[in-house]
């Protein structure tokens, strides 16, 4: 056994140090390249906390809360100071040759105006809060859809990868049989063609997975690294209620609640604009000092709506109220239409999933096994076996697509109704 020492040219401590450095470098490289795993709950939690769009609406909600403080705040008083020289028009005047005036005024809103301002500000809070709720619900639904879309694409990738490896193996076996003269050359050409097509599908599936992950990351937050993995599976949800029950639940949709809150805000604004024709008064008090006379004054200033009766702002507020009512009617029709459309897509996808699970998947697998056995025993050619393989692959892809469409239709109804229909497993 060779010894490490002076004769070997490498010292023992130095060897140990190099070994630990190498192991440390390998561990650091593994840590740096390891992609984190995220479940659906983790993805939703990160999106709810760090999504920029949701943070915008939360900031608007804070601004609406601050507007209530503004509406409840009284106007600041005004202090007036004046002074100047005095010139007597008649000779013999006595006293100081200067004068000054000190006055203070306090603007006050009428109670009706003040209450209208506060009520409108409080309604703005309700609108902002519901806007945040609607945005959050839509964000969660889109995140769920994107999450399951990535899972579906990864399932496609696994399927195409398995097909690619299988067809490569078939091509190698066919090549061997052609070389020994057991099969005609056209079988090798066909096997090469199928293997190239499988490789193309495999590379395309890899690109689609990367695209889906990039879209999901853009929905959630930049805090998620570019390289990450998802943990989960496509769920199988329970059946939806009947369409009539969904139409009845449509009344509680957050989108409709948001518009109804906007209607109340517009009504409060119309009331405020009407009250502002007589906004309030100003209490005044002051002292005026002339050379020979000091005067104390207390009074009130009241604006008189003679020229400006606020006809324009009142008409504008009335038009806005009319517009919001029209938006509510339009939104009700749109939500009802979208629910019915999503429900029909749900029924179609449900039937397709049931058809696949009740027999189509097993039939495609059985046909492939029969074709494979026949090919191995020389009863059928490579073309029949490849056709059976292609049929099975197409059936699996259609099954995955039907499952995702089934989930996506339910998520659409979730977004419109505003509550969870699709149970997510932890």
**Cβ atoms 247, 116 nearer than 8 A:** no
Pairing label, strands 98-109, 78-85: antiparallel
Residue 336 pLDDT class (50, 70, 90 cuts): very high
- Residue bearing tokens 């070389």: 179
Instruction: Tell me the mean pLDDT in the region 287-307.
Output: 86
Whether the CA torsion 249, 255, 258, 260 is positive or negative: it is negative
- CA 246-403-215 angle, 5° bins: 95
3-class SS of residue 121: helix
Q: Summarize the chain as % helix, strand, coil (round to 5).
A: 70, 10, 20
Per-residue tokens: 142: 């889109």
Q: How far apart are the first and last CA of the chain?
A: 57
The CA distance from 208 to 199, in Å, is: 14
pLDDT at 364 over 70: yes
The CA distance from 137 to 57, in Å, is: 13
Predicted pLDDT at 9: 47
**Cβ atoms 215, 146 nearer than 8 A:** yes
pLDDT at 20 over 70: no
Residue 386 pLDDT class (50, 70, 90 cuts): confident
The CA distance from 372 to 388, in Å, is: 8
Predicted pLDDT at 332: 92
The CA distance from 426 to 423, in Å, is: 10
Instruction: Tell me the mean pLDDT in the region 95-99.
Output: 68
Instruction: Tell me the mean pLDDT in the region 169-188.
Output: 79
Alpha helices (H) in 51-110, listed in sequence order = 52-72
The CA distance from 132 to 59, in Å, is: 10
Alpha helices (H) in 235-279, listed in sequence order = 243-249, 254-275
Predicted pLDDT at 5: 42
Cα within 13 Å of Cα(304), Cβ side: 2
Per-residue tokens: 73: 């705040």
Q: CA Rg, the chain, in Å?
A: 39
Residue 25 pLDDT class (50, 70, 90 cuts): low
The CA distance from 339 to 214, in Å, is: 29
**Cβ atoms 230, 155 nearer than 8 A:** no
Closest by CA to 320, choosing from 373, 268, 372, is 268
3-class SS of residue 202: helix
Domains and CATH numbers, the chain: 50-85+97-417 (1.20.1600.10)
**Cβ atoms 150, 224 nearer than 8 A:** no
Instruction: Tell me the mean pLDDT in the region 296-315.
Output: 90
Phi, psi (degrees; rounded to nearest 5) at 279: -70, -35
More confident residue, 98 or 360: 360
Per-residue tokens: 273: 């604009």
Residue 2 pLDDT class (50, 70, 90 cuts): very low
Instruction: Kindly report, residue by residue over 206-261, the tens digit of the pLDDT.
Output: 999 999 999 999 888 888 888 889 888 877 656 777 888 888 888 888 899 999 99
């Amino acid at each position: 056994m060779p010894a490490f020492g002076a004769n070997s040219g490498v010292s023992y401590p130095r060897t140990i140090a190099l070994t630990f450095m190498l192991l440390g470098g390998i561990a650091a490289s593994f840590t740096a390249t390891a992609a984190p795993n995220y479940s659906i709950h983790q993805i939703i939690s990160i999106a709810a906390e760090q999504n920029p769009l949701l943070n915008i609406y939360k900031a608007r909600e804070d601004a609406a809360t601050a507007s209530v403080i503004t509406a409840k705040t009284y106007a600041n008083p005004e202090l007036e100071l004046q002074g100047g020289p005095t010139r007597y028009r008649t000779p013999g005047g006595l006293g100081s040759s200067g004068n000054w005036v000190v006055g203070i005024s306090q603007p006050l809103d009428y109670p009706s105006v003040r209450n209208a301002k506060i009520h409108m500000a409080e309604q703005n809070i309700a609108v902002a809060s519901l806007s945040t709720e609607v945005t959050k619900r839509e964000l969660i639904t889109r995140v769920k859809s994107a999450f399951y879309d990535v899972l579906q694409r990864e399932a496609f990738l696994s399927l195409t990868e398995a097909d690619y490896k299988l067809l490569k193996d078939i091509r190698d076996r066919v090549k061997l049989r052609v070389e020994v003269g057991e099969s005609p050359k056209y079988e090798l050409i066909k096997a090469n063609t199928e293997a190239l097509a499988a490789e193309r599908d495999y590379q395309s599936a890899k690109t689609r997975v990367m695209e889906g992950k990039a879209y999901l990351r853009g929905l959630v937050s930049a805090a998620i690294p570019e390289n990450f993995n998802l943990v989960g599976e496509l769920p199988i949800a329970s059946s939806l209620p009947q369409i009539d029950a969904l139409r009845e639940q449509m009344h509680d949709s957050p989108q409709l609640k948001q518009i109804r809150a906007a209607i109340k805000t517009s009504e409060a604004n119309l009331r405020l604009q009407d009250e502002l024709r007589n906004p309030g008064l100003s209490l005044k008090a002051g002292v005026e000092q002339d050379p020979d006379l000091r005067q104390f004054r207390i009074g009130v200033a009241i604006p008189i709506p003679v020229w400006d009766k606020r006809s324009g702002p009142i008409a504008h507020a009335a038009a806005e109220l009319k517009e919001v009512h029209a938006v509510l009617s339009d939104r009700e029709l749109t939500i009802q239409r979208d629910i019915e459309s999503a429900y029909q897509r749900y029924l179609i996808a449900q039937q397709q999933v049931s058809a696949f699970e009740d027999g189509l998947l097993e039939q495609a697998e059985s046909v492939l096994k029969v074709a494979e056995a026949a090919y191995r025993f020389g009863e059928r050619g490579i073309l029949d076996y490849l056709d059976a393989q292609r049929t099975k692959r197409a059936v699996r892809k259609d099954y995955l697509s039907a499952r995702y469409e089934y989930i996506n239709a339910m998520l659409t109804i979730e977004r419109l109704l505003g509550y969870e229909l699709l149970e997510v497993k932890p």
